């Protein structure tokens, strides 16, 4: 018998030779139907595999990201089988799962076009309907070389020959299709329920432009047509919501050839930016942060001491002043450290919270620049907290509270990832262990689920990243908490403790928005340009129907302006329907239509962006409505 420790703490006993699929069936038929793969003793494994011994078991369904990768990797094998069925002689390269989909690279005499997708999808559906069992076999390196030589799979042979001698090779079979693969995979082809081919691209073999250009076919798959349809709908919505398109349409920002990666904010975009920064300052002042401003250019010696020169130089810009080397700052922390060092600090000041809206510059390759999402100059809403070791957990929890406040304002949910020590880093093992354990403890005391990203921390410390989810279910990494024992050591930061001696503080680096520019890009797509009233560049537009109503319109405009409402008047001699349509295109939250009736009765005909005509209101009631929405930062 083997003993399984289930995720919920339950222990189950099964005879030797039982498969993981049989375990799922024993738990419930629904679980067996929805299961994709298992994690056994922390290793992702096929459902069809036999239980090798005692261990911890987690059965994964499609909701788990790891299961989605298995599901879509199996889909890529079905694509490859279909291609070789339709175009014999096609050679296989690689076919991994990617975020929300998969691809496969082919070397084929046939030139793929989008017109092939229908034929390919039909062939893929035939393979799915045949319900081929997907079988794993392990063979020797010599057997693998013989097998793939017979099949003419040159690219697979190259992979095999790169492996150490005597490596056990795993292959997967479905019908007459065989692929070199580490797995795992679904139990059979019929487990794939909804599949769609998306696009084509060229790709050099192994990403090396000296190698042959292959043909890459992209696709996606889901366990139901409804999920696939929802994904395709959101893809179309994302195209409509592209912040670059809306940025031009709404006069928010531009990126010009004269400054690639250096966005220009236009007056309306600056209103949004200023409102976000105002909110940031108000909340940070309430939370006990002090704001500073540090220079964007600092001497090379500072960056050498901080470790950026050795660990981050390829992402930095440099200049020379008075025959000395300087660098444009890629991060704000060294400047904040210099501010800290200007005074002798006492433990009574701690936690010392210092914030900065700091402009940083990072060199990005031109091919990855993307509107406001990937730029070369951006403003980080940085803060650095200096504290005692026994204050770490509470300060991390305080940052969590601020993250909840900020993201909740915009109706964002988020998930958390803990990133640990990277290969290239500074600081002792003891420091890294202490910092990582502190972050884990804070997460566990908060009782939140989190994913571990091994080796993805900053070069000076481990971090917690907040990945927010927008209205199209896309995730964006924005907030971060980085715990740092290294910088205080490197810069010899001290404070006077209760015992009168000098001690080393602990340092937290944290951001909430991440980058103001990127956050505005995310908000633009999240709200499809229809910003909530408190952020909208123009909050109210007044539309007099005839010239007779202009005086009343101006009276209303001045009244609202005196109350700090952002208001304008469209007094062009255009038809009122045209004015309303234009206001809708510009996504203005409220429009006031003023005709003779409104002028005579001293009231307003109000149109709301989401609801259309909401009828007549008094000016006093309308102002009360606006002030309520602005004060409470109402989203819709």
Cβ neighbours of residue 55 closer than 8 Å, sequence gap 6 or more: 2, 4, 5, 40, 41
Task: Quote the CA–CA distance of 397 and 579 in Å, as a whole number.
Answer: 49
DSSP one-letter code for 51: P
Task: Please provide the DSSP assignment of 137-193 as one string.
Answer: EEE-HHHHHHHHHHTT-HHHHHHHHHSPTTPPEEEEEETTEEEE------SBGGG--
Known catalytic residue at 362: yes
Residue where the block lists tokens 């975009």 = 269
Known catalytic residue at 478: no
Residue length of the chain = 636
Q: In the β-sheet with 475-484, what is the strand arrangement from edge to edge?
A: 289-291, 352-361, 377-387, 506-511, 475-484, 463-469, 413-419, 450-453
Tokens standing for residue 539: 């909050």
Which of 384, 510, 526, 579 is flagged as catalytic?
384
3-state percent helix, strand, coil for the chain, nearest multiple of 5: 40, 30, 30
Give the DSSP H/E element, type plus range, for residue 264: strand 264-265
Known catalytic residue at 425: no
| Cis preceding linkage at 554, omega within 30 | no
Which of 241, 308, 353, 509 is flagged as catalytic?
509
Which of 241, 329, 374, 463 is flagged as catalytic?
463
Which of helix, strand or coil describes residue 454? coil
Which of 69, 382, 484, 570 is flagged as catalytic?
382
Known catalytic residue at 384: yes
CA pseudo-torsion sign 29, 33, 36, 37: positive
DSSP one-letter code for 423: S
Nearest by Cα to 99 from 61, 69, 143, 128: 69
Task: Quote the CA–CA distance of 605 and 616 in Å, as a whole number.
Answer: 4
Known catalytic residue at 181: no
Contact indicator for 331, 267 with CB cutoff of 8 Å: no
What b/e string do you get for 559-584 counting C-beta neighbours within 10 Å, with b at 16 or more?
ebeeeebbbebbbeeeebeebbebbe
What b/e string do you get for 43-69 counting C-beta neighbours within 10 Å, with b at 16 or more?
ebbbbbbebeeeeebbbbbbebebbbb
Which of 81, 174, 215, 380 is flagged as catalytic?
380
Which of 181, 333, 425, 478 is flagged as catalytic?
333
Q: Which residues are catalytic?
A: 333, 362, 380, 382, 384, 463, 509
């Amino acid at each position: 018998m083997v003993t399984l420790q289930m995720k919920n703490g339950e222990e189950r006993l099964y005879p030797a030779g039982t498969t993981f699929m049989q375990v799922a069936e024993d738990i419930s038929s629904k679980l067996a139907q929805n299961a994709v793969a298992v994690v056994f003793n922390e290793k992702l494994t096929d459902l069809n595999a036999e239980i090798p011994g005692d261990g911890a078991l987690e059965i994964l369904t499609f909701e788990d990201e790891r299961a989605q990768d298995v599901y879509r990797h199996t889909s890529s094998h079905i694509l490859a089988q279909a291609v070789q069925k339709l175009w014999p002689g096609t050679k296989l390269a690689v076919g991994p799962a990617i975020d929300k989909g998969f691809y496969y690279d082919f070397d084929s005499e046939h030139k793929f076009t989008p017109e092939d997708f229908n034929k390919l999808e039909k062939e893929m559906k035939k393979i799915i309907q045949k319900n081929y069992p997907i079988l794993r076999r392990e063979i020797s390196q010599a057997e693998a070389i013989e097998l793939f030589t017979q099949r003419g799979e040159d690219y697979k042979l190259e992979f095999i020959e790169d492996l150490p001698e005597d490596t056990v090779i795993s292959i997967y079979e479905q019908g007459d299709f065989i692929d070199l693969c580490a797995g795992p995979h679904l139990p059979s082809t019929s487990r794939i329920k909804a599949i769609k081919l998306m696009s084509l691209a060229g790709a050099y073999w192994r990403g090396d432009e000296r190698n042959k250009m292959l043909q890459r076919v992209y696709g996606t798959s889901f366990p139901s047509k409804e999920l696939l349809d929802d994904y395709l709908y959101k893809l179309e919505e994302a195209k409509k919501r592209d912040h670059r398109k809306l940025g031009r349409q709404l006069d928010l920002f531009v990126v010009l050839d004269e400054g690639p990666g250096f966005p220009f904010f236009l007056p309306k975009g600056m209103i949004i930016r200023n409102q976000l920064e105002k909110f940031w300052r108000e909340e940070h002042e309430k939370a006990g942060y002090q704001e500073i401003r540090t220079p964007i250019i600092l001497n090379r010696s500072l960056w050498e001491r901080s470790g950026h020169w050795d660990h981050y130089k390829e992402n930095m810009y440099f200049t020379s002043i008075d025959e000395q080397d300087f660098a444009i700052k890629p991060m704000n922390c060294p400047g904040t450290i210099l501010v800290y060092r200007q005074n002798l600090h006492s433990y009574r000041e701690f936690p010392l919270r210092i914030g900065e809206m700091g402009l940083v510059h990072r060199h990005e390759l031109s091919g990855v620049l993307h509107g406001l999402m990937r730029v070369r100059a951006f403003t980080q809403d940085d803060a650095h907290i200096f504290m005692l070791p026994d204050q770490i957990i509470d300060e991390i929890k305080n940052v969590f509270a601020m993250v909840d406040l900020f993201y909740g304002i915009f109706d964002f949910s988020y998930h958390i990832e803990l990133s640990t020590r990277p290969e290239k880093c500074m600081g002792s093992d003891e420091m890294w262990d202490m910092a990582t354990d502190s972050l884990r403890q804070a997460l566990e005391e908060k009782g939140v689920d989190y994913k571990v990203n091994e080796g993805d921390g900053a070069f000076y410390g481990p971090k917690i990243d907040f990945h927010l989810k927008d209205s199209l279910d896309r995730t964006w990494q924005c907030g971060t908490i980085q715990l740092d024992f290294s910088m205080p050591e490197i810069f010899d930061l001290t404070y006077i403790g209760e015992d009168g001696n000098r001690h080393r503080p602990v340092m937290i680096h944290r951001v909430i928005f991440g980058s103001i520019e990127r956050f505005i890009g995310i908000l633009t797509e999240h709200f499809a340009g229809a910003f909530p009233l408190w952020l909208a560049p123009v909050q109210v537009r007044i539309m007099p129907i005839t010239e007779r109503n202009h005086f009343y319109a101006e009276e209303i405009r001045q009244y609202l302006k005196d109350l700090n409402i952002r208001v304008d008047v469209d007094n062009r001699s255009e038809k009122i329907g045209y004015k309303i349509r234009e206001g809708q295109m510009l996504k203005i939250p409220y429009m006031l239509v003023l005709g003779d009736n409104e002028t005579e009765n001293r009231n307003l005909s109000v149109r709301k962006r989401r609801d259309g005509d909401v009828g007549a209101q008094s000016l006093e009631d309308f102002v009360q409505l606006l002030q309520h929405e602005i004060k409470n930062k109402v989203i819709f």
